[in-house]
Structure 1
């Protein structure tokens, strides 16, 4: 018979895996390479460092993904950028 209940062993393992995953995410740098079809602009922009969004990187992404007809920057949701990064890594 085990000294530890099965569920407690599972919880301890889950906490260990989650903390390892979180520490890896904190040290991560996320970069997107973008190409604007209409203006032919290219950019490689770091938008997230150590688990935090980089305001300067987000500003640059909003500029390159602007409405090229009116030359007005957009406001991209950073979670969408994470989704794009996940799809193309």
Structure 2
């Protein structure tokens, strides 16, 4: 049945997609990725803050100790929405 379906569709039934994107897993990887994409990360008292020339005076607050397993993905999505820059490599 699989071969027949392949011939009918004219393509392979193998999963599609590439290797995916490497998401930063630690704060150090996040900081390096941000700096690679033109952000400035300021650390001081409280949470670190990232700024980018396209943001003007607006800042993105970075978590040091994420509260759940999706927090890094959510932060990357927020940065992408606010700046148009995808920092996932």
Q: How does the TM-score come out when normalised to structure 1?
A: 0.30
- The higher relative CO (CA closer than 8 Å, separation ≥ 6) is in 2
Q: Counting strand residues as a fraction of each chain, which structure ranks higher?
A: 1
Q: Counting helix residues as a fraction of each chain, which structure ranks higher?
A: 1
